[in-house]
Amino acid sequence: GIGVRTLEDIPRNHFIEYVGELISEYDKLCVPDGRYLIELVVNADNPDASVYIYPDKFGNIAKFINHSCAPNCTAMLVNDGTARRIAIMTRKKIKAGEELTFKYSDSKEYFETYFRCVCNTKNCISNKM
């Protein structure tokens, strides 16, 4: 992927919002390769009731953050009182020049379906497939 590197040090627990258009499960089928999609479960009692954030037209730089099996950021669902959002939260202090990464999924099926992980970390999911 393209990747995102920081120009300045970023403190722990800083966040970047993952911005994009909200699309339905049906519209998701039109997205090539499922690229850049992040799922938002809107009803915990019904995991099939999901919408997706698709940043192709209305996204920000967060869509270019790469996956790592040993990430320095975490994707979190947050609620600001008016809407649910995805925040990419730093897990530690990140130094200037360091690449931002988060774990796209824990699911082996996800990586078999969409792409092969190439992070080459010690616990890389691709080494387990």
Distance CA 104, CA 126 (A): 13
Model confidence band, residue 104 (pLDDT cutoffs 50, 70, 90): confident
Q: How far apart, in whole angstroms, are the C-alpha atoms of residue 94 and residue 9?
A: 6
d(CA 119, CA 101): 10
Q: Is 88 helix (H, G, I), strand (E, B) or coil?
A: strand
Domains of the chain: 4-128 (2.170.270.10)
Bridge pairing between strands 99-102 and 66-67:
parallel
* 105 pLDDT tier (thresholds 50, 70, 90): confident
For the cut 90, the answer to whether the pLDDT of residue 38 exceeds it is: no
Which tens digit of pLDDT belongs to each residue from 54-89? 888 888 999 999 999 999 999 888 888 887 788 899
pTM of the model: 0.82
* Residue carrying the six token digits 């911005």: 19
